[in-house]
Structure 1
Amino acid sequence: MTQPRLAGAALLAALILSLVALLAAFLLSMGAAGRHLERAMIAQSQLADVARIEAMVAEWASRDAIERAARDYRASIDLERGSLDGPAALAAQQAEADEAAGLVALALAGGPRDRLIATADRITRREQREAAEVVSAMATLRRRTAFLASILAGAAIAAALAGSAALTRANRRLTDEVEARTADLRAIDASRRLFFAKASHELRTPVTVMRGEAEVSLADPAASTDDLREALGHVVANADFLGHRIEELLGLASAEDGRLRLDHVPLDLVALAIVAGDTAAPYARSSDVRLALNMSAPALAVRGDARWLGQALLAVLDNGIKFSPMGGTLSMLVQERDGCAEIEIADQGAGVMPAELPRIFDAYYQSAAGRMRGGTGLGLALARWVVEQHGGVIRAANDIGGGCRIAISLPLAEAA
């Protein structure tokens, strides 16, 4: 949203500057027009003063009346001089003042009438020229002002249109963002509903099994110690399975909202795999599945979070146990391969349909076979997240002889 705001601010600034420039141009034009008008009025006043002096001489008016008219004439000349700038204009005004003084002197002295008339005509023509120049200057100023006003008005209109277009784009973008966020919220709500539905189903299954084992054992007063021990073994295995599922749910929820933090410390992946195999063994025995662990190296040093890497391994092992047939074998191979530490977990089940392989690590996704065996569809999603947080890769493939093989590759720790 930053760029649209900057663009809108720039357009608003351009509009304001255009209006300020337009106002300044009109104020300057009005000032210039006022000065031209003042000169035109002075010129008209001087023409009137010259005509009055000429008429007074012709009518043999008193000397006092002629002197009053002469003072008015000189005052208008001084007023005009105050409104002029530049040496040339001042020199011309001085010449006009000298000529006016000559006219007044002739009028007061009662000089030759033809000379007085000639001087008055000369002054009259000059004042008429000045008035014509003022009119021409005002016409030019009017045209320039109209041209400038049209340019600035066009700029203001263009800025307003551009601002309107920018506002429209910003509103459209905001609408798209609101719609996108609304869609995200709907997806989150749907995911939440699915999460609770799957979680409740997944957690109910081991609880039901444990309760059933316990009720059957308690209902048989003749149950032997071996029978009770076997029942308790099933209870413990399902309790472990339940604990794994709870860890998966909480871990994936924390990973999605960003609260989960992983430690990256040196650890031995071989030892971690052995612990994960021992943890999954009771659940495997309860499902009549044999775990086969094969360690091709005594130790493989990696950097990571032992708890969450172990949880990822348990999620893959639980998945393999779930899809293994009764009496089948789930194998886990730990080896160094292509400069990485690799763990392969292979079951002897029916495998995964080729079209479903790319999606088995997606949260909540379950194949048709997976839905029949229960589960939340979160275990492999958690495993992928943990592996990727460690800079590793997890992938799945079907074996030629049947079954699915999941491989986890992690970078080896650099030697100290």
Structure 2
Amino acid sequence: MQRLNLTGAALLAALVVSLLALLAAFLLSMAAASRHLERAMIAQSQLAAVSRIEALVAEGASRAEVEGAARQYRASIDAELRLLEADPAAIAAQREEGAEADRLVRLALAGGPRDRLIASADAISRREQGEAAGVAAAMTGMRTRTTILASILAGFAISAALAGSVALTRANRRLAGEVEARTADLRAIDASRRLFFAKASHELRTPVTVMRGEAEVSLADPGASIADLRAALSHVVANADFLGHRIEELLGLSSAADGRLHLDRAPIDLVALVAATGDAATAFAHSSEVRLALAAPSAPLEILGDARWLGQALLAVLDNGVKFSPIGGTLSLSVGEADGQAAIEIVDQGAGVMPADLPRLFDAYYQAGEGRMRGGTGLGLALARWVVEQHGGAIRAANDPAGGCRIAISLPLAPFSPQARAA
């Protein structure tokens, strides 16, 4: 779009320059034509002056009348000399014409033989006729050149106008296309946000309803045992944790989209972080009758990153795994080192993901068909991808050959860690 704007501006500038050049050419041509016309008129007046001097001599007019006619003749020669441009040859010719005029006047005043006067007058008349013919030829040539120049400039101006029109049409079409695409994007975003708010309200209402139900059942049974009350409270705590995770996802992804989410960089023992995150998810998994199995090495794995947000990303993936695990199933969580990087895997025993849904599984607001049936906001995995990528890592999803979905996360090891030095 910027290139089209620059092209349009250049074509408009070319059009303006062409019009200004055309105007300047016409003004110069008019000035030159005015000078040539004035010279032609002066040449006619000089012919008339020569004829008058010759006639006055033939009629025997007084010296004063002849001198008056001679002064007019000389004045016209001086006026023509002032019209000449800086052309040495033309100026020299005009001065020679002045000298011939002086000789003619002297012959007229001397009263000598008329044949010399007539010969001088004829010579001057032929010169003036030649000048008049030269002026006419110059005007004809100037008119031809002006016509050619005007045609060229007019053609250039028309070409520039047509090119500008074409560029403007293309720019308008492209702008219309961009506006239409932006409008479609806004509509898609609006639809996604509407879906998100609907899903978020359902997702947040579910744990609240469970917590309220557990509390109401416990309060309604005056004979409830301590074990029953503790079990109810554990369900309340697990769902409260789940609710807190969802709120953190919403706030985190919103801050990430606005560029306000700040990640700290500090050495982290990834093995300890994964174990702590697994413990935090155990209660919710237990309330959903899912067993969480952790496999981790005894040696630490050091990375650089933000422990809080990495933990939140892992919780989002674990919550997703719990949601898709069958009752009585096992959600496997493992951490280790592979190919010189820290590796985390979360594998559920659910039905897996349709191959067409795998590439979009980490997109915000996107949910596969199974996810839509089980509820959710479609934000947890999007937040996990954002956090992992901010740490220089990668997150991938694939269907496990044994069944279920496998989420694999790779993170770079800290440069000063033993594993990094060994790699």
Tell me the TM-score normalised to structure 1 length.
0.95
Distance 1:235 1:41 in 2: 114
After TM superposition, list the pairs within 5 Å mapping 1:61-210 onto structure 2: 61-84=61-84, 85-210=86-211
Counterpart check, 1:404 vs 2:408 = no
Counterpart check, 1:17 vs 2:28 = no
Distance 2:103 2:365 in 1: 112
Distance 1:246 1:137 in 2: 91
Contact between 2:271 and 2:297, CA under 8 Å: does it hold in 1? no
Distance 1:288 1:52 in 2: 133
Quote the offset at 1:68 in angstroms.
Answer: 0.9
Distance 1:189 1:377 in 2: 15
Task: State the identity as a percent.
Answer: 76
Aligned to 1:259: 260
Contact between 1:45 and 1:76, CA under 8 Å: does it hold in 2? yes
Aligned to 1:237: 238
Contact between 1:11 and 1:163, CA under 8 Å: does it hold in 2? yes
Aligned to 1:41: 41
Counterpart check, 1:343 vs 2:344 = yes
Contact between 2:352 and 2:400, CA under 8 Å: does it hold in 1? yes
**Structure 1 residues 312 and 11, CA gap change in structure 2 (3 angstroms):** same
Contact between 1:289 and 1:328, CA under 8 Å: does it hold in 2? yes
3-state DSSP class of the match of 1:120?
Answer: helix
3-state DSSP class of the match of 1:400?
Answer: coil
Aligned to 2:421: none
Q: Which amino acid aligns with 2:363?
A: D
Q: Which amino acid aligns with 1:13?
A: A
After TM superposition, list the pairs within 5 Å mapping 1:268-283 onto structure 2: 268-283=269-284
Contact between 2:269 and 2:300, CA under 8 Å: does it hold in 1? yes
Quote the offset at 1:297 in angstroms.
Answer: 4.3
Quote the offset at 1:94 in angstroms.
Answer: 2.5
Q: Which amino acid aligns with 1:300?
A: L
Distance 1:331 1:170 in 2: 56
Aligned to 2:300: 299
**Structure 1 residues 378 and 51, CA gap change in structure 2 (3 angstroms):** same
Counterpart check, 1:220 vs 2:221 = yes
Contact between 1:297 and 1:335, CA under 8 Å: does it hold in 2? no
Aligned to 2:420: none
Which range moves more in the overlay, 343-352 or 141-150? Answer: 343-352
Aligned to 1:26: 26
**Structure 1 residues 213 and 386, CA gap change in structure 2 (3 angstroms):** same
Q: Which amino acid aligns with 2:238?
A: A
**Structure 1 residues 366 and 50, CA gap change in structure 2 (3 angstroms):** closer
Quote the offset at 1:198 in angstroms.
Answer: 0.3
3-state DSSP class of the match of 2:256?
Answer: helix
Q: Which amino acid aligns with 1:34?
A: S
Which range moves more in the overlay, 208-217 or 115-124? Answer: 115-124
Distance 2:299 2:83 in 1: 106
Aligned to 1:368: 369
Q: Which amino acid aligns with 1:345?
A: I
3-state DSSP class of the match of 1:386?
Answer: helix
**Structure 1 residues 55 and 414, CA gap change in structure 2 (3 angstroms):** same
Distance 2:81 2:196 in 1: 94
Counterpart check, 1:287 vs 2:281 = no
Q: 1:386-412 CA distances to partner (integer Å, 9 max, x unpaired)?
A: 112212111222333222221111111
Distance 2:164 2:46 in 1: 54
Aligned to 1:318: 319
Distance 1:400 1:134 in 2: 101
Quote the offset at 1:349 in angstroms.
Answer: 2.6
Contact between 2:330 and 2:349, CA under 8 Å: does it hold in 1? yes
3-state DSSP class of the match of 2:344?
Answer: strand
Counterpart check, 1:386 vs 2:405 = no
3-state DSSP class of the match of 2:367?
Answer: coil
Distance 2:415 2:26 in 1: 77
Contact between 1:42 and 1:76, CA under 8 Å: does it hold in 2? yes
Tell me the TM-score normalised to structure 2 length.
0.94
Quote the offset at 1:193 in angstroms.
Answer: 0.5
